[in-house]
Copies of this chain bind each other. A is one copy, B any other.
Amino acid sequence: MTDVTPLPAPLPSGATIGILGGGQLGRMLSVAASRLGFKTCVFEPGGDCPASHVANAHVQAGYDDVEALKTFAQSVDVVTYEFENVPTSALDLIESIVPIRPNRKALAVSQDRLSEKAFLSGLGLTVAPFAAVDDAVDLAEAIAEIGTPAILKTRRFGYDGKGQARIMSPDDAPQALADMAGASAVLEGFVSFTHEVSVIAARGQAGDISCFDPGENVHINGILHTTTVPARLSPAQRTDAVLLAAKILNALDYVGVMGVELFVTPQGLVVNEVAPRVHNSGHWTQNGCVIDQFEQHIRAVVGWPLGDGTRHSNVEMLNLIGDDVDRMPEFAKNSAVAIHLYGKADAKPGRKMGHVNTVLGPAS
């Protein structure tokens, strides 16, 4: 006989799911949880946050507020998160009281671009050439090794193109290093790719894996603009994308939904980055599938079997950034458009206000 760790019992409907972060991802996770009869409690320092509008409870406190973190952790049956930069001390405290899913390993890997690249290449997956950069000497060596053009990125806390500087020639190195403001960084070589796709992959507590069809992403100014399904991929590439995502999930003993961004190159798929959470490039699933990425994540986190991620429709997801949201009357009139707004009061430039899923027709 071998030792087998028994699976934790699935949470019964009616249990409470704690969500770290109260933005739009927390909001849509909360709605998905309600469909399955779960209650949600959101932990978020900001008031009137998108998730608080639909959650049962909102603990409004900072991530350094030990008492609030305890109260939160004691009031819920499991904790998940909508962003990967939750402070370690907060996670330690919460985990002493209630399980966190996806697990800490996934967070640790994805919180740091260097760990992430090392982990992915350790799995035998192709990533952009990379090197750690802490100072001008490191950067000079990295440029000598990787060449230009290249891109310098902070190891931590980067998102939507922030904390990045392009190095088109070695002359750009000093400015790029200055842009990092003393933060540890990674130099990444440019990958010559034809387009970017992402796989939204889920793994349940029993190790079952279900991947949504890959979507094709277009970014503008470093922010996701559209995701379209189906993506332009050969059958072999499609299989590669799914197997690769499964490999990552299994290696992390992951539970929940993960977003895996891939560059499509003539030499094959290159992993750009992973996000240990529901992902903007998976929003199309709300109108393309019976079970969307948010419900899939909740099912995994509570220990239920994963749902059916089969795609029934072709969809284009368009992010509404800043005053894009003023186009709402036009979208509302288009009967093929499903609207998803986040309840944010002010349409600041660069702010994700909502998205629309245009159903292009039956799945092809």
Contact = CB atoms under 8 A, between A and B. Distances in A.
Interface string A11-34: 001100000000000010011001
Interface in A301-325: 304-308, 310, 312-313, 325
A51 B54 CA distance: 10
A276 to B, nearest CB: 23
A260 to B, nearest CB: 22
B290 A339 contact: no
Contact of A291 (B312, B313, B338, B341): B338
A326 to B, nearest CB: 10
A339 B39 contact: no
Interface string A336-364: 10111111010000000010010100100
A287 B287 contact: no
A344 to B, nearest CB: 8
A293 to B, nearest CB: 14
Kindly name the residue among A34, A36, A313 whose own CB sees the greatest number of chain B CB atoms within 10 A. Answer: A34
In which size bucket is the chain A interface?
35 or more
A60 to B, nearest CB: 15
A34 B54 contact: yes
A39 B53 contact: yes
A244 B117 CA distance: 63
A174 interface: no
24 contacts: A10-B329, A10-B332, A13-B325, A13-B328, A13-B341, A30-B54, A31-B34, A31-B54, A34-B54, A34-B343, A37-B342, A37-B343, A37-B354, A38-B343, A39-B343, A287-B290, A290-B338, A290-B357, A304-B332, A305-B332, A308-B335, A310-B335, A312-B312, A312-B362
**CB-CB nearest 5 A-B residue pairs:** A37-B341, A308-B335, A305-B333, A304-B332, A34-B54
